[in-house]
Chain A
Amino acid sequence: MTKIGLEIHCQLTNLESKLFCPCKADYRKFEPNTNICPICMGIPGSLPLLNKSAVEKATLIAMALDCRTPDKIAFFRKNYFYPDLPKNFQITQLNVYGNTSIGWEGKISVGDKEIRIRRIQLEEDPGRLIYEGATEKTKLTLVDYNRAGTPLVEIVTEPDFETPHQVREFLNILSDLLENLNVSDPGLEGAMRADANVSIEGGSKVEIKNIGSFHDLEKAVHFEITRQQSLAERKIEIIQETRHWDEGRKITVSARTKEEEAEYRYHLEADIPWVRINDDTKNQLQTHMPESISSKKKRYVSKYSITPQVADILSSDRYFSELFENAKNETNAKDVANMITTDVMGLLDTREKRNVSKLNAEHLSDLIASMKLNKITRSSAKLALDEIIKNGKPLQQIIGELDLGHVSDEEELTNIITQVLSEEIKAVEEAKQNPEIVNFLVGKVMQKTHGKADPELTLTLLKKNLAID
């Protein structure tokens, strides 16, 4: 049986500052080595100052993953030399001398499968190394410490996955969950990273590191299973080792065995006293915990009669579900949901577009209301939406400016219809035999009015004109 386990690192990107100093947690916009201070650079005499909100956010994750959580947590030093590590030790957590990490023994459902979470710990991210050319052949290594000290949550699963597909599904669910908790923006480059360990029946466990994206992770796991199976078929022993994912060649390659002999000399980080997380704090967090994606989905289906497919799409995306919650009311929920999933999502399909979008919930509920009152057609609504996203003006103003108002004036429509009928003589003849052709003529009227004509009125008038019914 194939067993796959994951080790996921997720930055708490929504925090203001780093885990142990006031530097920004959002390091991405800085020039190299400008988001640093004596603490995150490990300058002699500096001391780590614990960011208490990081402890809360991490506890929230532990609770959302059904973990057991301790009454008090401690930090440990993991000692190893690496150029991206300013102190040459990482402040992290450890469950060896009692359970003092943020959480342990949790679970999460992936389809009908339950994946067990072994532990969750809070730790600091190291800096970043930038190589000249390929890692193995590099002559020059540059270090950027902007990232050093960024709050990181490490989530370790039990080896409960059996297929690369399950892994991918799990990561999607986890990523949605973290986004929904408002602790992280997994879409940001490097915000969420995962290592995998893979073993097949009778073989040793092999770790795969250095995987750039979830897409590659799925591929890497797939490759590794195939590699191990082909070794097994030829009766070659599968050795316990760490392998790196080679993005270019799409294969895993053996890392130097040196990494296997890791000796971390763990000991307590005395500069940070034990942090108590009492029941009050936990209850407080539980009360303010955002509604889970699955309960949101259930609610959308049962309360608003939204189809399960639409509810699924809507609930798993924090941005759109928030938009929905704010735009919906007793009567329009289903229409709002449909408009978001059919139109808005298409227009705002990237993070960049969402970031600059001026659309708010009020726009959306106004649009639905106007459509219901026949003030605007569906196709005009789409045009209006496009415009609103760009400039955020109120709907009424946009309808006026773009002249999107419904043409429901009989006289005006009759004039347009007369014009269409005179242009489409052939179709008019055919329509008398085949009523289906009338729809084609309705389309022509719509074209002339840029979609503003009231469809029902148009049909009635056309039929009257052609003397059919």
Chain B
Amino acid sequence: MNCIKNNEFTVEEFIAESLEHINKVDEKLHAFLRINDLAIKKAKEIDAKIKSNQNVGRCYGMPISVKDNICMEGSKTTCASKVLENFIAPYTSTVISKLHSEDAIIIGKTNLDEFAMGLSTEFSAYGPSRNPWNNDCVPGGSSGGSGVSVAANECIASLGSDTGGSIRNPASFCSVVGLKPTYGLVSRYGLVSYANSIEQIGPMTKTVEDSAFLLNMISGIDPNDNTTIDNKNQDYLNNIDAGINGKKIGIVTEMTNSDGLSADVLDATNDSIKTFEKLGANCEQVSLQMVPYTVAAYYTITSTEAGSNLARYDNVRYGYELDSSGFEFNSYISQARSKLGPEVIRRMILGGFVPSAGHAGKYFLKALKVKSKLINEINYVFKKFDFLISPTVPIQPFKFGEKINDPVSFMMVDFNTVTANLTGIPAISVPYKITNGLPIGIQIMSNHLEEHSLLQAAYALEKTVDLPEVPA
């Protein structure tokens, strides 16, 4: 950005360079589902603004990628599903409008697991993205394309969405920063709903500072989303280097001794605890007894909401070519929905079952009870602690196909991330270590709307590590 401000090169040159880089690496990485044809035109407009000394937005032509479940008027938003293969959004999401008004350039839309259901991009209907650290490994998900696009320098930053870890998981796997904000801090207007009671849009960036910078722009109350919170235009960059001297950190016991935790990830986590202490924080173990039940509760709640949110894809009002003549309504819907992928179908079936009249008491209502008890626990521990920490993901990036046939072990990968979604608190993943050539991220969580101090803690941790560049 400074290079542009100093007239070393133009926005157009910078964007052209980025596009060329994408052209070169993305055939292999497949971070993008689509490149924005209007990127160069937009770059020229911003250059013209700069030349004529007009006010230029804070993003100054910065190329940002956006997960393909966030709408932008006039362009496709597929959610990596065949069902929305030809869906062209008739309006622009609040987050993209805000970025546009700050003169960011949306360079393209990134890959994801179909409708954001998954954590590897293997469930994208258009093929998976690849981890730039090791092309045989998954990049994490569901915002895998976003993680890859930032890690592989295809853009400066990306917007992902996080329902159960979908920002933090690929951030950890790709060694980038990923922030899931407090529920309601960022408008969901234009985000295609999967589990609307818990999901949020958030930034994925190279640095903690960039995440704070983006959060400044995308957060705040929105008349188009009744669930948004007024944050009084808080400046998250302010005093970001304040440090964490004297802060109290709880190490979540259940997240650091779970069955699925790998030894290497545990090593890195223990190492990070030492680092936090060196930074002047007091770390101690804290137990969240509901955590072992969170994954089951999470899948029960998200399947219920997904079953409802995805019911609209009946191919009646929009969708793909399918002649309706000769069909009775229900059989037409079955036919129309046969285009959904296996993971989506799995959750639709689950979502039809767990909240149904005869079974809600055993499943859905129990899940809500877990959620409410977990919220009580979280409220209680944040009376004592400033932050909670854990490894973002219990394991490192795995190989393609390694877990896809074992849904339950797949689900357990979400073990450490779903707590923040179920309780609405913010959580960030900070790249911490590269072990055996693959990244490990550390998760920091804070109380509701404490993003400011959360980013200060993440910044302090980030400054202690010196990680290698992603292999070319």
Contacts and interface: CB of A to CB of B under 8 A. Distances in A.
A, B co-complexed? yes
Contact of B311 (A88, A143, A271): A88
Contacts of B304: 265, 267
Contacts of B89: 43-45
A296 interface: no
B189 interface: yes
Interface in A160-196: none
Interface stretch (A76-84, A284-292, A358-366, A404-412): A76-84
Nearest to B334: A81
Interface string A293-321: 00000000000000000000000000000
B202 to A, nearest CB: 16
B191 A45 contact: yes
B307 interface: yes
A89 B330 contact: no
Interface in A258-272: 263, 265-268, 270-272
Contacts of A263: 356-357
Interface stretch (A46-54, A213-221, A379-387, A450-458): A46-54
B53 to A, nearest CB: 37
Interface in B310-367: 311-312, 314, 316-318, 329-330, 333, 351-352, 355-357, 364
B312 A38 contact: no
Give the residue among B70, B79, B312 with the most A Cβ atoms within 10 A. B312
Contacts of B382: none
Interface in B207-241: 223-227
A263 B356 CA distance: 7
Nearest to A143: B316
A47 B192 CA distance: 9
B93 A45 contact: yes
A83 B226 contact: no
Contacts of B90: 38, 43
Nearest to A140: B325
Contacts of B77: 44-45
A38 B305 contact: no
A71 B292 CA distance: 35
A88 B311 CA distance: 6
A45 B190 contact: yes
Contacts of B355: 265-267
A336 to B, nearest CB: 48
Given A77-B308, A83-B329, A87-B311, A47 B316 contact: no
Contact of B364 (A42, A82, A87, A267): A267
Specify the main secondary structure of chain A where it touches its partner.
loop
Specify the main secondary structure of chain B where it touches its partner.
loop
B448 interface: no
Contact of A86 (B70, B193, B312): B312
B97 to A, nearest CB: 13
B193 A45 contact: yes
A81 B330 contact: yes
A42 B309 CA distance: 10
A273 interface: yes
A9 B355 CA distance: 27
B317 A270 contact: no
Interface string B72-108: 0000010100001001011101000000000000000
Given A49-B223, A81-B330, A268 B197 contact: yes
B189 A44 contact: no
Contacts of B312: 42, 44, 86-88
B253 interface: no
Interface in B192-206: 192-193, 196-197
Interface in A240-280: 263, 265-268, 270-273
B188 interface: yes
A143 to B, nearest CB: 7
Contacts of A42: 312, 317
A268 B89 CA distance: 27
A270 B189 contact: no
Contacts of B192: 44-45
B71 interface: yes
A265 B227 contact: no
Contacts of A47: 188-189, 224-227
Contacts of A270: 196-197, 227, 305
Given A41-B317, A77-B308, A50 B226 contact: yes
Give the residue among A46, A47, A48 with the most B Cβ atoms within 10 A. A47
Given A38-B90, A81-B314, A45 B84 contact: no
B226 A273 contact: yes
A79 B226 contact: no
A89 B311 contact: yes
Given A43-B318, A49-B226, A87-B311, A267 B91 contact: no
B333 A81 contact: yes
B356 A273 contact: no
A205 to B, nearest CB: 18
A53 to B, nearest CB: 15
B232 to A, nearest CB: 19
Contacts of A49: 223-224, 226
B88 to A, nearest CB: 11
A48 B226 contact: yes
A266 B189 CA distance: 23
Nearest to B311: A88
Give the residue among A44, A267, A270 with the most B Cβ atoms within 10 A. A44
A329 to B, nearest CB: 48
Contacts of B197: 268, 270
A415 B305 CA distance: 91
Give the residue among A45, A46, A89, A271 with the most B Cβ atoms within 10 A. A45
Contacts of B188: 47
A266 B364 CA distance: 10
Interface string A56-98: 0000000000000000000001010111001111000000000
Interface in B18-52: none
A88 B314 contact: yes
Nearest to B364: A267
Interface string B287-319: 000000000000000001101100110101110
A33 to B, nearest CB: 10
A89 B314 CA distance: 12
A79 B354 CA distance: 13
Give the residue among B191, B226, B357 with the most A Cβ atoms within 10 A. B226
Contacts of B356: 263, 265
A86 B314 CA distance: 9
A19 to B, nearest CB: 12
Given A43-B91, A267-B308, A268-B197, 4 more contacts: A46-B189, A49-B226, A77-B308, A271-B193
4 A-B pairs with least C-beta separation = A270-B197, A88-B311, A44-B192, A45-B190
